[in-house]
Amino acid sequence: MGIVKADLAVSLDGYSAGHDQSLEHPFGPLAGERLHTWMFEHGDAHKAEVDAIVGAAAYIMGRNMFTAGRGPLDPDWKGWWGDNPPYHGPVFVLTHHPRESVPMEGGTTFHFVNDGIESALAQARAAAGDGDISITGGATTINEYLAAGHVDELRLHVVPFTLGSGTRVFDGVPPIEFSSTSVRHTPEVTHVTLRR
């Protein structure tokens, strides 16, 4: 059986998104795209990290990683990534609102799970077989899986600016002992890989 990995881009003060997330500002107006500039504008310099993010057999994400807002899901919305999302496998989206699965180009299919993190993990394990599972964010979802003891490897992509407030990794998570297995620094981001 593969391991459960989690990836998250964070500010220096540990925030993965600011307040007031919306379709126009997926990470909040203060964060803008700064948290992911390293990936989108300097992707060639970070190919190993990007490949690792999308290199799992199945994925789990929180609702805000799929769409902003609260309430029922817009049946026409298919995510931030266009017709061919980068996952190329099953993605289990945690939500309180049911929705039919959404198959996309390239093999990505979004499945909507409204009965909790354990159900999403069980479905991802069944889909992944012997492969790895990647929890792609956001911080609230990763924190839930960290608190439940399900994350084997945490990869933080630390961007050199502060947000001051928002949604932060490790909020509400009990103490966890990690070992650092790798650190790679560039001017845009520091990639830190931690193992339980």
**HEC assignment per residue over the chain:** CCCEEEEEEEECCCEEECCCCCCCCCCCCCCCCHHHHHHHCCHHHHHHHHHHHCCCCEEEEEHHHHCCCCCCCCCCCCCCCCCCCCCCCEEEEECCCCCCCEECHHHCEEEEECCCHHHHHHHHHHHHCCCCEEECCCHHHHHHHHHCCCCCEEEEEEECCCCCCCEECCCCCCCCCCEEEEEEECCCCEEEEEEC
Rounded Cα distance between 146 and 169, Å, is: 10
Instruction: Give the side-chain half-sphere CA count within 13 A for 158.
Output: 15
Q: What is the pLDDT of residue 32?
A: 67
CATH code, domain carrying 152: 3.40.430.10
Give residue 64's domain range: 4-72+81-195
Cβ(132)–Cβ(56) below 8 Å: yes
Instruction: Map tokens 């966890």 to a residue.
Output: 176
Residue 42's alpha-carbon distances to 112, 187, 193, in angstroms, are 32, 10, 20
Rounded Cα distance between 119 and 123, Å, is: 6
The total number of structural domains that make up the chain: 1
Give φ, ψ of 102 to 5 degrees.
-120, 100
Give the pLDDT of the chain (196 residues) as one tens digit per residue: 899 999 999 999 999 987 777 677 667 777 767 888 888 888 789 999 989 999 999 999 999 888 877 778 888 888 888 899 999 999 999 999 999 999 999 999 999 999 999 999 999 999 999 999 999 989 999 999 999 999 999 999 999 999 999 999 999 999 999 999 999 999 999 999 999 9
Q: Is the peptide bond before 69 cis (omega within 30 degrees of 0)?
A: no
Q: What is the pLDDT of residue 188?
A: 93
